[in-house]
Structure 1
């Protein structure tokens, strides 16, 4: 038998058969060590027994008493109802799911101790499905440690987790946990790793419960540090794997760039020039570029991307530009075609909606290399897409794609052993803290300057009862020669329902705004139809555009100076900020009206207040991180990335700089420890490394 718990499989534990192993493996629990690192998310204090007369409605409590009677009651739902009595009063215990054995155990005269939430029921205070155990001798006092509550999965209950953990803690007395962190890396430990794990599964009842519930206890912080380090190292490992394979050298000779810059109706800002130089330096090398360009809405990231594309084309390589939505991809197609066509450079287009002959035509253009510029949605990394010679992949709004999708596009370019450079752009500024952790595998550039002539957007928050007043304001705005957007949002992520809501609003506004050109755009329209409406709006043949959130990114109409967003409380801050960025693109004062449906939740109120207070994308992003958490902000909630057991990126920002320093030290001095740290916290990380 092994000395170390990471080498003991979970099936070593009693009661863990093949089915249970399958359930545990699904959530990354493979070894006894993984059981111990499946840490509690909170604790309950079950150390004090509450007299029945002192129970508070809605609070959790430990109670003890004698069963006075237990019967099966037939109501709307069949239930087992027990009366429990102590020296101060009586309460009811109610079980909707029960067995005959349970009913036989709870006979009159039996003494039991229960834990649950006191609720108001038909017969006064009731406990629904309390946890309970039989007690032979009554004694004052309950458990001698705080009771852990574990994150769970289907078919695994708290009692089951506690049994597994008890067994794992017993094994910890005979076997060991490896200490992967040398003393010169990370926080100074006041306890050994084994003592820390023991403490977190069974904190003494006198532990600092406030610090524990906030995740600020020194022992939690010690483990949070190691977990953040594991995430950081796994991303650096990804980067190292990517950089082992060379990329084509794409030095810019400047001819195409100069022609392109001369044709632009504006000059690049200093920030654009700086970022462009960083990118061109990267791609001139055979080390694959992995660069993230962040810039607020309208800061001119696409122009910078086009400069890099020019260098690739000059060197006879193709460029793939991938966007997450059809409308954003179409916008890129328009921009790149406008810039590259006059220079005699062909652009190909590929989206999921392109079918039949037209699709085949585009696939041929890409495979033959006849089209050096290829724009599309995630259709670009489908199996039948073959590039002749891909040298640069430009990915917009990277957080909408998984790491795997980004890597899949990279594989498309594996040409004669060379892999394409990657340029990733986002108009959703990522807080620095999050970028340091979530994108440790990327170099970051920030375009922190808006082109001259942009006007700040004035944001107002209004209750839906003032709808008529808002419609009147839209009329006045359009009569004055400017244009407006009216955005409809729905809680359901159904395109059909979104389209229906937009159609209803469109009909209402057409009636109320006679004499004005009103257009409608939603996700269920044919691309040609959508493009036609957008073109009419751009030419000012339509004064008002009613749309769903499909216009979130990529739509640029400088004459549009007013945006109404209905039900903004249903959207995240980043999405609201993106939508608002569709106005304020000209020199006229612009306004955004957030028209909400009362009553607002506390979080929605905070969100709308943040929007009213600031136009700064980075402030908005920090606030978004604070309110929604990293998994939501990065769009990785579903993929399982950035889901922490102990760390919290918002709370633990102070640990990120030392984590970065510790990662450098480990890579340089203790490379043999890296795998152990990564696999302890991220059992699934290996599959990303070879994606």
Structure 2
């Protein structure tokens, strides 16, 4: 029997070239793809509900006799049909209708309809129901199974997808769709047969528990989610193995440079910095590439840890590259590293996208000739950038860089042969569940201690009706010699509108706070303009900085002790926590005002309440994941990683430890099953392991 993975969709009845092209748009090229294209939800058309028993919001099949049909001229012309079945009356409303349709719905016609009952002007209504007239001679049977609703694209109807899945299901069997989970493994983890799970999810029986299916708790969903998460783990493990199989420069533990550096620093590293530093130093001394993620809450001193790692490579005579996602952040690292390394006799080169002409050529030449430390944006990934002896790459704010970009760095190693070590830093604490799945190819270190002298930020919630009081608070803080941020958040998801809002706020505040120096930063400004404003703010020439969320990461102005965030309900908790981390960097008591627009939803209240109660980024990240799901947490660039077909990281978090163990077992005992699993689940995703 042919495996369905090898049979094209064109083998199905009614699939020609045009339809095949539409199916390919949603990733359906083979019959296996069709079977793994699972319903999003189900409709129950297996029984007829009496009109009198309908509840608002319920999807249902009803039958009745037309008692009247009228064309109403309201804001929009509509056809209103009244339907009775002896238990009650219901209206059907059509906004798009023809004369022929109206004639077919005359009084006395018997109809069977399907749709969602909603409260209307005259009791319950169904808008644009699916309906058919019953001629009364022959009873039309109701559906025997729940009706699946599939993910679709333009030009593909639910009806067509149901017909195709029906044909594919007819060919489904244990031989046509091999189960790549060994029987022993399936037994250990109590996983049911693959073909039965797929058949059930496409056509659940009439007595299926709809609530259980909607919540993803059914054994058939559990079975497929396990296999998908397992495949995801395998892809990352394979990526990790392929990187580990590379050779990396062995860097002996450094003595001279770290001692000088710490002496100039003027403070002792925290216990957490020392512990994480030792983990990194050990990794760097090994002959295979380090892949380590350092998570530290806002202000935990990740940069000092990165500097100590860099010094180990520099003392051994190699080059180090540090990369940040934005020019503002990269520039800040450049200034820090210049300040730290110049006294040690080490040069620092700078490369960003905005560097053009001679300056760019000169930077490329410095890098190729072996300037020890190179700082830049992801311009460092470009092909024309050639390093002389690159041994370590430090990536700041990893979630902004995709896995593929991390892999591109391999080619930059010594003689293109030795793979550089990678140290990845993030101030966005990643919940354990997410770290186990999204970053399974990395070792993780956590900086869980703040440097002495940092003050917790006091957070308050204020309704925007009290805006005037908040402006006065800014005035008095600035008169006392402090500085403040005023953050304008996204409006209607449009960068342009946000920038306009920031400009308007800037004008309003400049007028209200006459005599204070107010600056403005937003995403539409050129990097040089942003950098100039930021530099003025750092030097204390500006007292108030009005900004969009571009200042979210890493900008360090110790004298800024007050932050106002407008419409905080529009941001994720992790992002609010990042923004709040811009204050509280000096020794003065710092405050963050969340200026919200009432009324807040229940969820909004809960989320902003968490911000008020805790400054612990890890706790906030866990809550954020619970409330928003993983896609947003990792930033859009990384979500390609997590577009699961069946699995849901929050719902299935409890499966992850078992999935990790199963992945290890499969790699050790059944390695021949790994490729078919990757092919089945990730063919349309990123082929991590085969770069």
TM-score with structure 1 setting the length = 0.92
Say which SS state the counterpart of residue 310 (structure 1) adopts.
helix
Instruction: Give distance in 2, aligned partners of 1:322 and 1:146.
Output: 52
SS at match of 1:470: helix
Q: Deviations over 1:596-649 (max 9, x none)?
A: 112223332222111111111011111111111111111247753211222221
What is the CA distance between 1:324 and its match in structure 2? 1.3
Distance 1:257 1:440 in 2: 31
In the other structure, the counterpart of 2:435 is 435
Distance 2:366 2:492 in 1: 39
Contact 1:47 1:141 in 2 (8 A): no
1:252 equivalent in structure 2: 253
- Paired residue for 2:49? 50
Write the deviation string for residues 405-425 of structure 1: whole angstroms up to 9, x where unpaired.
222233333634222111111
Aligned pair 1:661/2:640, yes or no?
no
User: Which residue of structure 1 lines up, in the alignment, with residue 239 of structure 2?
Assistant: 238
* Match in the other structure for 1:22: 21
Partner of residue 293, structure 2: 292
Decide whether aligned partners of structure 1 residues 637 and 335 sit closer, same or farther in structure 2, where only a CA change above 3 A counts: closer
**Distance verdict in 2 for CA 1:94–1:669, change over 3 Å:** same
Q: Specify whether residues 503 and 236 from structure 1 end up closer, same or farther in structure 2 by C-alpha distance, changes over 3 A only.
A: same
Provide the C-alpha distance between the structure 2 equivalents of 1:80 and 1:13, rounded to a whole number of angstroms: 39
Correspondence 1:118-133 to 2 at 5 A: 118-119=117-118, 126-132=125-131
Match of 1:579 in 2: 579
Say if 1:637 and 1:116 are closer, same or farther in 2 by CA, change over 3 A. farther
Shift of 1:202: 1.7
The answer to whether the 8 Å contact 1:46/1:142 transfers is: yes
Separation of aligned partners in 2, 1:686 and 1:637 = 13
Q: What is the CA deviation profile of residues 431-467 of structure 1, one whole-angstrom value per residue up to 9, with x for unaligned ones?
A: 0111000111111111111111211111111100111
Indicate how the Cα distance of structure 1 residues 517 and 132 shifts in structure 2: closer, same or farther if over 3 A, else same.
same
Superposed displacement of residue 134, structure 1 = 6.1
Render the CA deviation track for 1:288-327: whole Å, top value 9, x for unaligned: 1111111100001111111111222223322221111121
**Number of residue pairs matched by the alignment:** 688
Moved more, 102-111 or 423-432: 102-111
Match of 1:309? 310
Tell me the CA shift for residue 23 of structure 1: 3.0
After TM superposition, list the pairs within 5 Å mapping 1:498-513 onto structure 2.
Answer: 498-513=498-513
Aligned partners of 1:636 and 1:642 also within 8 Å: no
Post-superposition shift, 1:34?
2.0
The 3 A distance-change label for structure 1 pair 351 and 98 is farther
Take 2:495 and 2:204, find their aligned partners in 1: how far apart are those partners? 49
Residue aligning to 2:185: 185
Residue correspondence of structure 1 range 231-630 to structure 2 within 5 A: 231-369=232-370, 371-413=371-413, 415-492=415-492, 494-630=494-630
SS in 2 for 1:546: strand
Match of 1:634 in 2: 634
Distance 1:75 1:473, change over 3 A: closer
User: 2:43 and 2:637 mapped to 1: Cα distance?
Assistant: 27
Moved more, 510-519 or 287-296: 510-519
- For the residues of structure 2 that align with 1:271 and 1:536, how far apart are their CA atoms? 34
Q: Quick one: distance in 1 between partners of 2:618 and 2:181?
A: 34
8 Å Cα contact 2:276-2:446 kept in structure 1: yes
Kept in 2: contact 1:66–1:84 (CA 8 A): yes
Q: 1:368 to 1:497 in 2, by over 3 A?
A: farther
Q: TM-score, normalised by structure 2?
A: 0.92
- Report the Cα distance in structure 1 between the residues aligned to 2:191 and 2:519, rounded to whole angstroms: 66
1:59 aligns with 58
1: CA distance between counterparts of 2:131 and 2:64?
11
Question: Contact 1:328 / 1:554 at 8 angstroms: preserved in 2?
Answer: yes
What is the CA-CA distance between 1:277 and the residue it aligns to? 1.4
Structure 2 residue runs of 5 or longer lacking an equivalent are none
Distance in 2 of aligned mates of 1:242 and 1:684: 22
The alignment partner of 2:419 has SS state of: coil
CA drift at 1:536:
3.2
Residues 74 and 414 (structure 1), Cα distance of their counterparts in 2 relative to 1, 3 Å cut: farther
- Aligned mates of 1:545, 1:280 — CA distance in 2: 40
The gaps in structure 1 that reach 5 residues or longer are none
CA contact (8 A) 2:92 2:129 kept: no
Work out whether 1:12 is the aligned partner of 2:11: yes
Give the distance between the partners of 1:303 and 1:324, measured in 2 at CA.
19
- After superposing the two structures, state which structure 1 stretch, 396-405 or 520-529, moved more: 520-529
Q: Which stretch of the first structure deviates more once superposed, 228-237 or 485-494? A: 485-494
Aligned counterparts of 1:595 and 1:471: Cα–Cα separation in 2: 11
How many Å separate the matches in 2 of 1:246 and 1:508? 59
| Inter-CA distance 190–138: structure 2 relative to 1 (3 Å threshold) | farther
Distance 1:411 1:533 in 2: 37
Distance 1:665 1:173, change over 3 A: closer
Contact 2:44–2:59 at 8 Å: present in 1 too?
A: no
C-alpha separation in 2, matches of 1:220 and 1:614: 36
Structure 2 Cα separation of the partners of residues 11 and 174 of structure 1: 22
Contact 1:77–1:96 (CA under 8 A) maintained in structure 2: no
Q: Tell me which residue corresponds to 1:683.
A: 683
Q: 1:76 to 1:529 in 2, by over 3 A?
A: closer
After TM superposition, give the deviation of residue 522 of structure 1 in Å.
2.7
Query: Following TM superposition, by how much is the alpha carbon of 1:83 offset from its aligned partner in structure 2, in angstroms?
Result: 6.6
How far apart in 2 are the matches of 1:572 and 1:468? 26
SS at match of 2:594: strand
Alpha-carbon contact 1:456-1:590 (below 8 Å) kept? yes
Query: Alpha carbons of 1:190 and 1:441: their partners in 2 closer, same or farther (altered >3 Å)?
Result: closer
Partner Cα distance (1:474, 1:329) in 2:
29
Residue by residue over 1:519-547, the C-alpha shift from the partner in whole angstroms, topping out at 9 and shown as x without a partner, is: 33333444444334333333333332222
Which residue number in structure 2 is paired with residue 220 of structure 1? Answer: 221
Measured in 2, the distance between the counterparts of 1:343 and 1:121 equals 77
- Any idea what SS the aligned residue of 1:293 has? strand
Within a 5 Å distance, the mapping from 1:69-148 to structure 2 comes to 86-87=85-86, 88-89=88-89, 91-92=91-92, 94=94, 96=96, 112-119=111-118, 126-132=125-131, 139=139, 142-148=142-148
1:338 and 1:115 mapped to 2: Cα distance?
71
SS of corresponding position for 2:178: coil
Q: Which moved more, 1:237-246 or 1:292-301?
A: 237-246
